[in-house]
Amino acid sequence: MAARSIGSLTVSFGLVSIPVKLYSATESSRAISFNMLHKTCGSRLKQQYLCLKEGVPVERDDIVKGYEFAKDQYVIFSPEELKALEEAGTHSADITEFVPLESVDPVYFDKAYYLAPDKGGAKPYTLFTRALRESNRCAVGRWAARGKQYIVMIRPVDDGLVMQQLLYADEVRSMKDLDVPKVEVKDTELKLAQQLIEQQSSDTFDPAAYTDEVRARIEAAVQKKVEGQEVTLADAPEGGAQVIDLMEALRASLERKGVAPSKARAAKAEPQEQPAAQARKPPKQAPVAEAAPAARARARK
């Protein structure tokens, strides 16, 4: 099914204007939601607002918005006053600068949109995409929509453009607020960690390799209940023994992946001698599957 545009806007930088169509890059509707029901009869529940002072329900027509400037003290705003404070939509993403792609920390990434050329925008769209890709830069600017003003970053991906909504600086916490101690790391520990990273490295990231197992588990349970079946609760998995020694944890991780630390170091140190070393190594003896039955037969005698 063809994607449906959720709007249109113009990307502007200098005297250049590029008409584009806007598409959601993600699907929030994929989340599984549950309704609140009355336990005794199974009917849907209706949300109500209660006055904390009088203890009575309040209808929506009697609700106003207020800002708490001190404990239990509010200033009230009318809907008209709040509307006047909103940012007017401009239907334009105004580029203010171009920065290196790697200079924007992904921690600032918020909602993402795909951009496609609108009528008459194919040529400037293609030119803009190629110029960004070959310069290894992205465009940063402002975009007003839904009464708010956003920072946006436009970057090239595959054959098109993504407009990434960014968080403001005061919306991102600083790592300096964390108490991260300074600890010395031994060279041997670093080498083992690098071997483990190398062992689990891939050339590209494939998001299709990861699936939402919790969602699949919930969907299966829902289907069972729809069909009238009972849902059995699995026992919680037991946690593994805690490994205190860092070196032992690194070695155990490498061995679990099938390469002993000593072999990994030898393979890197002497890559030319590896085939010969494998040829001299005696073949590993396979376990005898019939030994256990024979032993039991002798024990019965």
Query: Which has the higher per-residue pLDDT, 270 or 19?
Result: 19
CA-to-CA distance for 147 and 42, rounded, in angstroms? 39
Give per-residue pLDDT as tens, 181-198. 998 988 998 998 998 889
Query: Which has the higher per-residue pLDDT, 294 or 130?
Result: 130
Task: Let me know if residue 73 belongs to a domain.
Answer: no
Task: Let me know if residue 117 belongs to a domain.
Answer: yes
CATH number at residue 139: 2.40.290.10
Q: Which two tokens stand for residue 201?
A: 């490295």
Give per-residue pLDDT as tens, 258-291. 655 545 444 444 444 444 444 444 444 444 444 4
Map tokens 């729809």 to a residue: 226
pLDDT at 46 over 60: yes
Looking at the 3D structure of the chain, how many domains does it have?
Answer: 1
Longest dimension (CA), the chain: 98
Q: What is the pTM of this model?
A: 0.67
Range of the domain at 122: 22-27+91-171
pLDDT given at position 238: 64
Task: Let me know if residue 78 belongs to a domain.
Answer: no
pLDDT at 301 over 90: no
Asked if 199 contacts 257 with a C-beta cutoff of 8 angstroms, the reply is yes
CA-to-CA distance for 260 and 179, rounded, in angstroms? 35
Q: Which two tokens stand for residue 208?
A: 């299709």
Asked if 55 contacts 44 with a C-beta cutoff of 8 angstroms, the reply is no
